[in-house]
Chain A
Amino acid sequence: MSTVEATPVVPAPTAPPVITARGVSKRFLTHKSKATALKERVVKGRGLGTEEFWALRDVDVVIGEGETVGLIGPNGAGKSTLLKVLAGILRPTSGDVDVQGRIASLLELGAGFNGELTGRENLYLNGALLGLSRRELESLEESIIGFSEQGQRIDDPVKHYSSGEYVKLAFSIAVHVDPDVLLIDEVLAVGDEAFARKCLAKIAEFQRAGKTILFVTHSLDLVETLCTRGIVVDHGRVQYDGDPVFAVHTLRKILGTDRPVGAPEVQEEIGGHVVHGAVVSSTRGGPRAGRFAAGDRLHLRVDVEVVDGPTVHAGDVRVVFMGAGDIPIFGLRTPEPLPARAGRYAVDFEVEVPRLNGAFIVGVQVDEPTTGLPITARRFDDAVWVETGVLPGILDVPAQVQVSEQ
């Protein structure tokens, strides 16, 4: 099976580091073995067995000014712990964390509100916790309340707020206190769509202003589209650190979601076809190549086996190039099906690379030619890079632009 080269790429920090974590480990002691009562401690003395759990192991992360980092990983991988350690909320068991500047954090639900206090009172309390003076908060009060869309509700105790209203106020405070570092843990999903858009717009504004953003999320599309860097955490260790597209692929591999739902882990001979490999290269049947420019010749060799069995089908081989978020960009197919005869076939495609921008991966599917039903499918996570223009967007469109005085 082909794999993404998951060598951790630590980009040389070009910008001055804002968050520096060196050799950070975090150990938790499990509750059952821990004396939670002073009485117990006195009765049992020091001889309590401690069961420990390492949520983080020897993590090195340096985040530079202006980076937008997506922290991804399976549930229980240590993402939130890492975020809390970087935020200075949890102290690491060993290692050092250094943060430059003001940190605003939105962790899980809420951001340190007291339910009894009104929204406005919480605004002042939270602002004070974030290091702002009363005078600064007075000047920000109006815009915070405006952004949070709370209106009159701002003077209700926050215990009466819905989770959406809660997050709106929390997010509004966090972005208005002019933080140098914004830490977000899976909260954007709570607000309604209109607010989510507003949040994303605000985040984009932060990016333009050169602020550092670090967020934990399970929405991988967001990582691909928003982040400049992705960090994959699993079992308390950094598994990958680098390009967001690669990070997402690495995570999908860990999660096993790199295959369609229901697809078997090992390619079985369903109807007698096995896709052994798909290699992108710059010459026919040549070694793997990863980078192309528009107009280059791109060769793709798909290695398919038609396995002997009680029923041997013919098969249409289809290839899809997919962009970020698995959006299909373009497809190719064999003009005629593979013969219904056992053997190993090399299917060579050749295309002129279109004017694309970004990273793409290849999915291969073999269909039964008459019914069109899929026999087998497999995706390959070796990303192919195409760099044509510098403008954002998948497609680089040639255009004429004229500026004339009217």
Chain B
Amino acid sequence: MWRRPVADIQGANCPIPFRDSDRVTIAHGGGGQLTQELIRELFLPAFGEAAAAATPTDSAVVRIGDERVAFTTDSYVVRPLFFPGGDIGKLAVHGTVNDLAVAGARPLALSTAFILEEGLEMEVLNRVAASMGEAAIEACVQLITGDTKVVDAGLADGMYVTTAGIGVVPAGVDIRPNRVVPGDKVVLSGPIGLHGTAVLSVREGLEFGTDLQSDCAPLNGLVSSMLDTCPDVHMMRDLTRGGLAAGLCEIAETASVGIHYEESAVPVPPEVDAACGFLGLDPVHVANEGRLVAFVSSTDADAVLDTMRSHELGAEAVIIGEVTADDRAIVVAKTSLGAHRIVDLPLGEQLPRIC
């Protein structure tokens, strides 16, 4: 057992913002606590009865006739538009495919909506669009409808892309946070922090030399083989903004369980570790675009792990921890020295520390 848990390391990143700001701040879009608060305290009350069926997951699953249909939407804003291992178009397709996949759905089709900045080079737009086509073919989904708007120069970082997607959940598959129970094993599909570090490495003013590539990839193939092996996977989540920590914290809170994991079991590529070290970031808070965590019963864990490892995108999958009845709604990491610490949702945007 552990004694004396201490504040989360992200908390140690220094001060917190005024959360009850009278204006939207950049941190409200960071995917952390402030985003959650915005949904809980502004959107849901404002939507009222209309949002009665809203779910706290990345995809909603609705029954249409005999089919269960998963539906999701996501907007993509990334600077720069092209980064090592991907671009905004590939991200927009794979990100939405992944939100459907981790709901247990077979992704079928996506919509694509563009907000373009006046003056954007056609060549850039063409490269992004071609990348979206390739990404969709790779993920076996169709791009079936869309929209285009243009705004004044200087208003949209070149371009923003929004995709929405639908998929069908196969019979016998039921993936929800509330199915997570004490004793479940936590399986991570591979090394963390690659996407966030790759994007930072080419961001203006912060360029640092590295061969890192974003892990941006469609996870539906991996998920499909996992569900073939074990349709009874309890919960899955793709790890995007806020990283592994955000994924685990949201599940711990929604399912009202504790999650304990071994820090030394989490694969962190040396380049990610080094970059996070000098920027003062914690790899568990850094974004991914091709990783997931799965919660499976301890009896199924080894079979699921074997299946994942035989898939290209799960070759380095590991069991990192398990679900506990203690410490409800809290994620606890066992440090490499054998101590324990609470891991929390980042508050908002990750900012390099002064010291």
Answer whether A and B are interacting partners. Answer: no
